[in-house]
Amino acid sequence: MKLSSARVLWSIDPFSAPEVGPEQQARALARQLRGIRGTVVPVTVLAAAEIDALAAVWSGARRKSYLSGVRKAMQGWCKAAQRAAPSLKLAAPKILPNPTGTRRLAVEVLLSQARAGKFDLLALSTHGRRGIQRLMLGSFAEAVLSRAPLPLLVLPSQPSPTHSQGLALFASDLSEGARRIAPIAGGLAHAAGLNLVAFHAATDHSWAVATPGFIPPAAHPDELKARKAHLSSDLESTRRLGVETEIVVRSTDRSIAEAIVKTAAAKKADRIILNTTRTPGSALLLGSTARQVARLASCPVWVFRSGASGAPARPPRHARAKGGSAVYLY
């Protein structure tokens, strides 16, 4: 089954470092879009304030030369990406002006383009910051993730070469939102020819104050069995597609994000798929689970947003597949 007519907005940096250059990013994106037919539109957000500052010193001709240089850099970046990943159907690149040059407005400019162009997916790469630098400086990718109303594909700056076991990991919190995302995860796995591992981490922080020998409710064998049955029921449509599935439910005393990332690494997953319902104000310091996974994972992360009630934030976009059956990206 192949998804068709998908429109992908690809946020790129034509001046990125060689280790995160066009060839590597294009191959990573092409791998994630296997089985999905559609158009990819490369875009970069240009700080207009920077140009204005340069224009105060430079003549008009120099300013035009600078803009011309940016356009040439974009064109050269896209040509290199196309050579590295011929399967990508790249459209003409776009340059979006950012009036203030701030990261916040750059995010809004990018999302406005995504809404105006009615894109189905927003793809972008992280810069691989870690530790206190990530906490203090933030990340463009994380800022987009916290605000994007459409599905997001986060490509790590330096993906691990060991992720080649032919499976996708669907991380579920057993919420209504996760239940609605489960068929999407199955459809993506089917389109890419991947098996699917459905993972749920059961946590109960009462273990920290429990008396010796006390078994936290989330770690009780009967509770784990019930959660496994719940997750299995969410995958009925995936099994009907013929996708080989594995269900993993385990208790953990670490954060949900760490458990997801650790399991994905152990399984050598090609991708992680999960949903998020957090709003920017609810994750000011540590961030939502989805943001933490995107921050820590060494494989690409697909994030689908659900509304507060657990329902998708917008109606599914259907695409006609071989055999007449309908599948949707979101």
Determine the pLDDT at residue 326. Answer: 43
**Distance, CA of 157 to CA of 17 (rounded, Å):** 10
Q: Which among 125, 157, 179 is the end of a domain?
A: 125
Task: Looking at the structure, tell me whether residues 119 and 10 fall in a common domain.
Answer: yes
Residue 115 placed within a domain = yes
229-284 pLDDT, tens digit each: 999 999 999 999 999 999 999 888 888 999 999 999 999 999 999 998 754 444 43
158-177 pLDDT, tens digit each: 666 555 679 999 999 999 99
118-130 pLDDT, tens digit each: 999 999 987 655 4
Determine the pLDDT at residue 194. Answer: 95
Contacts of 30 (CB under 8 A, 6+ apart): 85, 87, 88
Determine the pLDDT at residue 4. Answer: 66
Determine the pLDDT at residue 68. Answer: 77
pLDDT(322) > 90: no
Q: Which among 68, 98, 125 is the end of a domain?
A: 125
- Which phi-psi region, left, alpha or beta, contains residue 118 (left: φ > 0; alpha: ψ -120 to 50)? left
On the CB side of 326, how many CA atoms lie within 13 Å of its CA?
A: 6
**Distance, CA of 257 to CA of 163 (rounded, Å):** 18
Token representation of residue 186:
């199955």
Task: Looking at the structure, tell me whether residues 207 and 284 fall in a common domain.
Answer: yes
243, 272 contact by CB (below 8 A): no
Task: Looking at the structure, tell me whether residues 184 and 321 fall in a common domain.
Answer: yes
Choice between 280 and 70, residue whose per-residue pLDDT is larger: 70
Residue 295 placed within a domain = yes
Length of the chain: 330
**Nearest alpha carbon to residue 142 among 258, 40, 290, 298:** 290
Task: Looking at the structure, tell me whether residues 101 and 211 fall in a common domain.
Answer: no
Token representation of residue 207:
């273990």
Determine the pLDDT at residue 50. Answer: 54
Task: Looking at the structure, tell me whether residues 185 and 324 fall in a common domain.
Answer: yes
Residue 226 placed within a domain = yes
Q: Which among 125, 156, 175 is the end of a domain?
A: 125
Task: Looking at the structure, tell me whether residues 69 and 202 fall in a common domain.
Answer: no
Residue 155 placed within a domain = no
Task: Looking at the structure, tell me whether residues 189 and 105 fall in a common domain.
Answer: no
**Nearest alpha carbon to residue 88 among 78, 103, 98:** 78
Residue 148 placed within a domain = no
* Alpha-carbon separation of residue 88 from 43, 141, 186 (angstroms): 15, 22, 22
286, 292 contact by CB (below 8 A): yes
Task: Looking at the structure, tell me whether residues 203 and 293 fall in a common domain.
Answer: yes
Residue 307 placed within a domain = no
Task: Looking at the structure, tell me whether residues 26 and 102 fall in a common domain.
Answer: yes
pTM as predicted: 0.82
CATH number at residue 119: 3.40.50.620
**Distance, CA of 263 to CA of 46 (rounded, Å):** 38
106, 87 contact by CB (below 8 A): no
Task: Looking at the structure, tell me whether residues 116 and 221 fall in a common domain.
Answer: no
| Amino acid (1-letter code) at residue 140 | F
pLDDT(138) > 80: no
47-65 pLDDT, tens digit each: 655 555 555 555 555 556 6
pLDDT(310) > 80: no
Task: Looking at the structure, tell me whether residues 67 and 206 fall in a common domain.
Answer: no
Residue 58 placed within a domain = yes
Residue 146 placed within a domain = no
Report how many domains make up the chain: 2
Q: Which domain holds residue 24?
A: 3-125
Task: Looking at the structure, tell me whether residues 19 and 109 fall in a common domain.
Answer: yes
By percentage, how much of the chain surpasses pLDDT 70?
69
**Distance, CA of 307 to CA of 187 (rounded, Å):** 21
Residue 304 confidence class, pLDDT cut points 50, 70, 90: very high
